A = this chain, B = another copy of it.
Amino acid sequence: MDPITELLAEVLEEIRPIDSGAPAAYIPELATADPDLLAFAVVGPRGRVRSVGDDRAEFTIQSISKPFVLALALEEHGLDAVLGRVGAEPSGEPFNAISLEPITGRPANPMINAGAIATSALVPGDDVELRTARIADLLSAFAGRSLWVDEAVYSSESLTGERNRALAHLLKSHGVIDGPVDVAVETYFRQCSLLVSVRDLAIMAATLAFGGVNPVTGERVVGERVARDVLSIMSSCGMYDFSGEWLLRVGLPAKSGVSGGLMAVAPSQFGVAAFSPRLDQHGNSVRAVALVEAASERFGMHLLEPHESVASPAMTMHGDDAGRVVRLGGELGYAGAERIVAVLRELSEGLPAGEPLTVDARELGRTHPGALIALRGEFADLPDWVWLKE
């Protein structure tokens, strides 16, 4: 067992004894879940999946489908069209709240049921089968394997889903959804009934973490901007009326589902997922929340923490026949540009006069436009034997 997997296992055993909460009761089929199931998985940039516990146990994805179907709607229609149907504001209300804007009837955001139904209704397709196929295809690409609907849970949801039907008819009455209400609602029930394991969820989260590219399959699943938009909305609205406190304490965009799953995303770092069916009063899995909090603490990183690397691009220095060369690598932001110039100033003061100093910026990765401007500008102030190679 590798050390990361050992760490996961260690955390899992710490959390295992917690036995508060109860499986979701409002969908009868969910109430039959084994409450002792417990699993945990992490996926990093190279796509290695590390998982412990009941990591092969499958459960229905439920609300964790919402960010991915949002991604599908964004890919299909673009941000502005989607925002025409659903807002991006946290509502401070529970998942099944009737939070529609007074005049437009837009649901507050795509992470509450009303908004998720509106988003799902944007998936192209004439009938439930075609739409579900589109959704299943995309979610399968996120997971890196084919996902299937649990027909028993689907039937149970459909039989008892009166509140969601109510929301869909309300949306229809406001013109927020087009086409038949039944198609919209049944598609939504089927999307919620897709079966995933904790390993799938961690890969799906990692795909969002790495800008829409699945780190296991290497496939680009959605565009980088779509991934960013989905993560933004998960940050402000993903944990319902606990979203603000979650961002404060854990600092990672996340999404939970009533079957007991939870995934969280550390952008450019990792995707993480946990599973345990017993829920707290917010509808979040008690032990999955505890596992992800532990992961956030041990693997970093809280979105709002200062990150030195962001401010300090890689600088390597070496001498060659043409004099000293400083090579810049990685990402160059505003702060980095300021710091580089400070370093160069010091360096140039220490060099014998006239010895040329070259700054090689050709291997810089992502560079913010303002940062490069700043960098170029600063060179005007430096001795003229310090020059920038772009």
A284 to chain B, nearest CB (A): 14
Chain A positions near chain B (C-beta within 8 angstroms): 2-4, 6-7, 42, 44-46, 48, 83, 87-93, 98-99, 108-109, 162-163, 165-170, 172-173, 181, 209-211, 224, 227-229, 231-233, 235-237, 241-245, 247-248, 251, 253, 266-270, 295, 298-318, 329-331, 333-335, 338-339, 342, 365-366, 368-371, 373-374, 376-378, 380
A227 closest partner in B (C-beta): B306
In this complex, the member of A44, A266, A315, A377 whose beta carbon has the largest number of chain B beta carbons within 10 angstroms is A44
The interface residues of chain B lying within 8 Å CB-to-CB of A373 are 3-4, 7
Give CA–CA (A333, B308) in the complex, Å: 11
Query: Do the beta carbons of B244 and A210 come within 8 Å of each other?
Result: no
Closest B residue to A342 using CB positions = B46
Nearest-CB residue, chain B, relative to A338 = B44
- The verdict on A89 contacting B232 (CB below 8 Å), with A267-B304, A303-B303, A309-B313 known, is no
Closest B residue to A373 using CB positions? B3
Q: Are A244 and B233 in contact (CB under 8 A)?
A: yes
Q: Which residues of chain B are within 8 angstroms of A330 by Cβ–Cβ distance?
A: 308-309, 312, 314
Q: Which one of B166, B232, B318, B376 lies within 8 Å of A247 (CB-CB)? A: B232
A-B contact pairs, 12 of them (CB 8 A): A46-B339, A92-B93, A166-B167, A166-B172, A166-B173, A210-B306, A269-B333, A298-B368, A298-B369, A298-B370, A299-B368, A307-B366
Residues of chain B within 8 A (CB-CB) of A247 are 88, 232, 235-236
A333→B247 CA distance, assembly (Å): 19
Beyond A88-B244, A268-B310: 4 further Cβ-contacts under 8 Å?
A45-B311, A88-B247, A92-B92, A312-B330
Of A2, A89, A173, A313, most B-chain CB atoms within 10 Å: A89
User: Could you tell me if B45 and A338 are in contact, using CB atoms closer than 8 angstroms?
Assistant: yes
- Nearest 4 Cβ contacts at the A-B interface: A3-B377, A314-B314, A166-B169, A162-B173
